[in-house]
Structure 1
């Protein structure tokens, strides 16, 4: 009987506490960023490096319009390049990452 109690206290109880802890940890996840795999993007950017991007996922899907600011990062073929080059991506497929709450593009990969 004593060995059964010892087994419960040293084996089963810790597992229960761990599983409850992991379940609780998962409820605290907050998503702050999302991504769009765009079939093509349309770009409007000014000399202050602000503007917007319109991302089209498919020809019949609703377009998504997101803001661009000077903090938006641009990557082409795996290398980071200056945002001024974004106009070259106009009409091209791209992956657009953005802040869900602010609707501002954080980075673009094309």
Structure 2
């Protein structure tokens, strides 16, 4: 598989989900505007209003099985931290290692 194409990288994420279950502290809000935060369903926001609600370390918006098939229940309005985690970056590699998944190599 050519892991350098956007489509293939997106498919890798949908077969992973490790970044969304790495830590209760990871899905935090940072630079979102009040308008952007208002789009996130309140059921998925933690009690401190500082990030996504988690079930254990797993973001409550994550659907599916880690390392098999996953999807974000609020993908279109997900927080910035979720948008910036990219397949194969340091955060991705750290999360994948936690779940015993091979690191994604995106080198040319």
* TM-score, scaled relative to structure 1: 0.26
Higher fraction of strand: 1
Answer 1 or 2: higher relative contact order, Cα 8 Å, separation at least 6. Answer: 2
Identify the structure with the greater helix proportion.
2
TM-score of the two chains, using structure 2 as the length reference: 0.26
